[in-house]
A = this chain, B = another copy of it.
Amino acid sequence: MSDETLVPGRRARVTVPVRIVGAGLLGSSIGHALRQNGVDVSLADTSPAQLRLAVDYGAGRAAAEGDDPALVVVCTPPDVVADMVEAELKRFPNAVVTDVASVKLEPLRALRGRGIDLTNYVGSHPMAGRERGGAISARADLFAGRPWVICRDGETPTQALALVEDLALDLEAVPMEMTPEEHDRSVALVSHVPQVVASLLAARFVDAPEHALALAGQGVRDTTRIAHSAPELWVQILAANAEPVTQQLDLLAADLSLVADALRDPDRQGSRRTAADAIRAGNVGVERLPGKHGQRRRFETFVVMVDDVSGQLGRLFGDLGELNVNVEDLRLEHSPGAPLGLAEISVDPATLQPAVDGLTSRGWRIAGTSD
């Protein structure tokens, strides 16, 4: 993908009429992106209010009798995806029907159990979302840069698959082919189980004393950040992907018990090794997560002290810009009651020294580097 695809006026791959069922966050976002490409987008939603909002915001027009979509995208909650896909396949037998649900096997099983011709159905799952939902939160760039899983089987016609891939590409997502089983086990591991774990860890804070929470640092804030997620949606996701999630939760509970048992008698032979093995395995595992551009992170980090007053960060950003420092990552940190903040800045190793020198010469206090 070249830079040219990123500017308005790029060539659209999908030019056929598209029908979107469910005009919430995902459906409306897809609508906005396709509308920008001049595509005829018709929207349907069981909620007239949601539909009106999506239309008002420009995600498409309300669906009408006589619509003849070539592509239908079902963007409803997981619980009703199978029903919706079935209805759309029957109503538009010439259209390719896809969905964006975050589980793929259960809807497929349900559809297969109904004896429907699934030739034109291609399940998919864009790995995108926001903390707030609804048509009002939709944005054309929601999928930009995110993986978009597309599930095929032996019977999926090439052109149906290509149409869904084109949709993903037009939305600037990164298409990835997977079987439904591979997809569901994968998201159980990297999304659903982390959600349960973060939620349960944060649930321990409900009755915790204030003085304990006052010691919370960036570590635990990161570990529990996704505990903010919405219960309604997650119950559907977890229930629909129950088997792979349960498998992983059982393994994790067993691992937790192993460490707890070791720590019950920390001076017994082998106890410390059990604890060390757990931390060490975590070191290996976390290194396997893709960082930016799918590569491991190879950045150097330095920390700039920032007085917590208006304009200070702006000045830092301005100085970084003038110094032509290509910031790979930036993290701001404050502590309770602290009069200043720390800006942790990651840069290419080659630019570490010039960046530190340049900022120092402009009067910034550098608190440390990763060297």
Contacts and interface: CB of A to CB of B under 8 A. Distances in A.
Contact of A342 (B144, B219, B284, B305): B144
A118 interface: no
Nearest to A29: B368
Interface in A31-52: none
B370 A132 contact: yes
B314 A327 contact: yes
A38 B272 CA distance: 42
Interface in A314-361: 314-342
A281 interface: yes
A78 to B, nearest CB: 12
A362 to B, nearest CB: 12
A162 interface: no
Contact of A219 (B225, B336, B371): B225
A137 to B, nearest CB: 7
Contacts of A368: 130, 137, 139, 141-142
A344 to B, nearest CB: 10
Interface string A121-162: 000000100111000110111101111010000000000000
A276 interface: yes
A190 B202 contact: no
